A and B are shown apart, each in its own frame.
Chain A
């Protein structure tokens, strides 16, 4: 029952002033155990705010981030799953599943979280899951039309991960749920 929050591309203060109020009211401290941020916060204050939601915070560097000390990619293990984080502007074509799968294999993770497209997607392919939480503020993007604010909450429970997607559509929060089960991969024998 580990709750992991995944969000990114807030672009505060350049493209958006703040998170939507409804999102903020939902993100109360104490419920979430980990926070993964794909990047483009952009300022330190957002970093502080995310720290209040949960002290365990993992951020990768987006191209507009003002703090240059964030890493390009990050991997962490939660429960039985290995998670990888990357902003995604490094992977071209932006948002291409095959290229992201290549990155996933490179990082050797089960779940890859990337952003940059400001569009929520969740793909499953044989190796694992690729999730894009979209833009939590609905910031403008030159490659996506009609950006809706969205973020993702993952409930990791043993070998099963339930992905809840929260989207703010027309002022209402809509929630969707996707189930993923990890198949125990056989140990890789050296060929």
Chain B
């Protein structure tokens, strides 16, 4: 018999206890709902409505139960309804006269619900006494009001809910409306995105895949990968799984990240997009589809999330700790410009839709084998017409092996193709150049060398493309000329530094690290190309002026990736470590570098007078960089890649310590000059010029070797942390000349490449 302690869950009492359990959970959440707006949300009316709606929905959908977050989806809906009703009553009150029931004595069609009460006619038919004048005055003035208010008044029926506007918006039925809105949102009303799915938990039955929310988070990362693969790889390497933050974002549709007003704007955008499944044909390919991206609304949600991530790009790339990145992501800054985010999201929407059609990136979820087989650069790097798609039957590898294979495939692809897209220039650039520099000698260079060469890299990189562009197909004879040209207007210290640089370059020709650094730097030129000269100048100056800012810049210079990171900190001569990072880090580094430059640049002022000097130093750096790049690339080919994220800050410190900052100032100034000149050219898309690539590559290598030798010399005389040594070393003559020539060549190469 049914008794309170019965163990039978279906008994009346069992259900009673289940319901009371639900209610308890609900109350827990509701009391904490929007505490800063408790003027509405904490009133008993609102709380009662919320409780009833949620309870009813959960009871009608027992498979989902109540999950925390559902109340946060319902609350804004109810709020909107409430505000609208309030506005309506405001209007009613303000223009109460016009809402007065004037039906007495006036025949109207009771049964005709569509009968529009013509105010004007009515007022005219009034008696011609004071009342008439009043009403006519009011009526005439009615048409002077807002068209909105006019509509409101005209549509309103004095009897409330039966009025036309009352049908749409009525206080009596607020709860009902909120329930239907909530229900349709949760169930998706036949569309692709059903919020309830984000709350579901795959139970024992054999599921074809991960829980929908996990899958949606992977869709997010997939889109991010297509849009900004360096940031994606950085986050992946840190081990930041998307669902850590995406869970909260998706389940509450960003309700926790923005204030209520901003949230309503976002939701307007989201709901403006249809929820229908856009391309049923694509659904056949079950391997690669993300349910989230199937509908325009889902794609927009995904794109908005990605734009939010991109908004935090610089700070995310700077973090080396998964915890800190998650903190940044979960505590979204309050001062973000919503319009910007929305605009970016709209632009990413199309990418998202396309991305859904391609085979997905092997993302971190190794347990979901069906998605692990393919790696494509997808949308962003579609330069390769023959982008490799391994058949889905490939045995799922570990994530790192996938990356290794991806990178190798890309290298192969780049050899065959050559096209590049401007937006992802940074990624493609590094890969391409790396492929064509086939003469690298891979030796791990001492950490110092890496450090030394790190700092100039960013600056050099900018001018690197310029040089390349100019130099495409040219030989190195012009080095001398360019060098001489460059040596104008530079102070004595600059000259000295330059000499040091060139000497070191020569000496370090055998240093793989240097080349790697160069090459890694080289991989970034696409990024900096877009920078303004001011940025470059500023960055250069900052290197001199403040160690700390330099550190910050260097911290981002993970271009040296393989070598830089481990060397300064742990084992300077750990070759393996160096090698492993190469390929993976490069695109990331380039991105990182770009951001760092941007940050560093702001602290300094641009200088025009040193433009020429910068040019000279830039040339040197370019040579230096190209040599490094060569080595870097070679390393990448020879050594198995691990894709561990290197401690960029450590690198940065080492770099800053080990490198002659004075030198860099000059170099950077030269670079800055070049960079600025080349910024305009830098936007051109590369063409498919294999031969020219090779030429460029070779000349770059030579230049870099020259630079490296100079640097090596310089490094020999320098102890970590003393920047003055370099300048004092005074390597003059041949070393300097060759170094500057090498730099010039590199610059030409970069120019050529940028022009292509």
Chain A residues in the interface with B (C-beta under 8 A)? 1, 3, 25-27, 31, 153, 155, 164, 166, 175-177
Contacts and interface: CB of A to CB of B under 8 A. Distances in A.
B1 A153 contact: no
Contacts of A1: 16
Contacts of B6: 175
A20 to B, nearest CB: 13
A166 B5 contact: yes
A3 B1 CA distance: 17
A26 B16 CA distance: 16
24 contacts: A1-B16, A3-B4, A25-B7, A26-B5, A26-B7, A27-B5, A31-B4, A31-B5, A31-B17, A153-B3, A153-B4, A153-B5, A155-B4, A164-B3, A164-B4, A164-B5, A166-B3, A166-B5, A175-B1, A175-B3, A175-B6, A176-B1, A177-B1, A177-B3
Contacts of A25: 7
Nearest to A22: B7
Nearest to A25: B7
A3 B6 CA distance: 13
A138 B7 CA distance: 22
B145 to A, nearest CB: 54
Contacts of A31: 4-5, 17
A123 to B, nearest CB: 21
B188 to A, nearest CB: 35
Contacts of B4: 3, 31, 153, 155, 164
Interface string B187-222: 000000000000000000000000000000000000
Contacts of B7: 25-26
Which of B1, B3, B16, B17 is the most central at the interface, judged by chain A CB atoms within 10 Å of its CB?
B3
Interface of A is mostly: strand
A26 B11 CA distance: 14
Contacts of B1: 175-177
A31 B16 CA distance: 10
The 3 closest A-B pairs by CB, nearest first: A26-B5, A175-B3, A164-B3
Contacts of B17: 31
Nearest to A151: B5
Given A1-B16, A31-B5, A153-B3, 5 more contacts: A164-B3, A164-B4, A166-B5, A175-B3, A175-B6
Nearest to B16: A1
Contacts of A27: 5
Nearest to A23: B5
Interface in B1-22: 1, 3-7, 16-17
A175 B11 CA distance: 14
Nearest to A164: B3
Contacts of A155: 4
Contacts of A26: 5, 7
A27 B7 CA distance: 10
A1 B19 CA distance: 13
A144 B4 CA distance: 29
Contacts of A176: 1
A187 B6 CA distance: 39
Nearest to B5: A26
Interface in B546-591: none
A81 B27 CA distance: 28
A27 B17 CA distance: 14
Contacts of A153: 3-5
Contacts of B16: 1
Interface string B353-370: 000000000000000000
A79 B317 CA distance: 63
B15 to A, nearest CB: 13
A153 B1 CA distance: 14
A23 to B, nearest CB: 9
A122 B627 CA distance: 99
B366 to A, nearest CB: 40
A69 to B, nearest CB: 30
A25 B7 CA distance: 9
Contacts of A177: 1, 3
Contacts of B3: 153, 164, 166, 175, 177
A25 B5 CA distance: 9
A177 B16 CA distance: 18
B739 to A, nearest CB: 79
B396 to A, nearest CB: 45
A25 B16 CA distance: 19
A166 B6 CA distance: 10
A27 B5 CA distance: 7
Interface string B372-404: 000000000000000000000000000000000
A35 to B, nearest CB: 13
B21 to A, nearest CB: 8
A166 B3 CA distance: 9
A31 B19 CA distance: 12
Interface in B249-300: none
Contacts of B5: 26-27, 31, 153, 164, 166
A43 B81 CA distance: 60
A154 B1 CA distance: 15
Interface string B693-731: 000000000000000000000000000000000000000
Interface in B211-251: none
A176 B1 CA distance: 8
Nearest to A3: B4
A41 B3 CA distance: 25
Which of A27, A166, A175, A176 is the most central at the interface, judged by chain B CB atoms within 10 Å of its CB?
A175
A126 B525 CA distance: 98
A146 B6 CA distance: 26
A176 B5 CA distance: 12
Nearest to B17: A31
B712 to A, nearest CB: 75
B756 to A, nearest CB: 73
B709 to A, nearest CB: 79
Interface string B575-614: 0000000000000000000000000000000000000000
Nearest to A174: B1
Nearest to A165: B3
A166 B1 CA distance: 11
Which of B4, B5, B6, B7 is the most central at the interface, judged by chain A CB atoms within 10 Å of its CB?
B5
Nearest to A154: B4
A8 B6 CA distance: 21
A2 to B, nearest CB: 11
A42 B501 CA distance: 93
B341 to A, nearest CB: 45
Nearest to A1: B16
Interface in B410-432: none
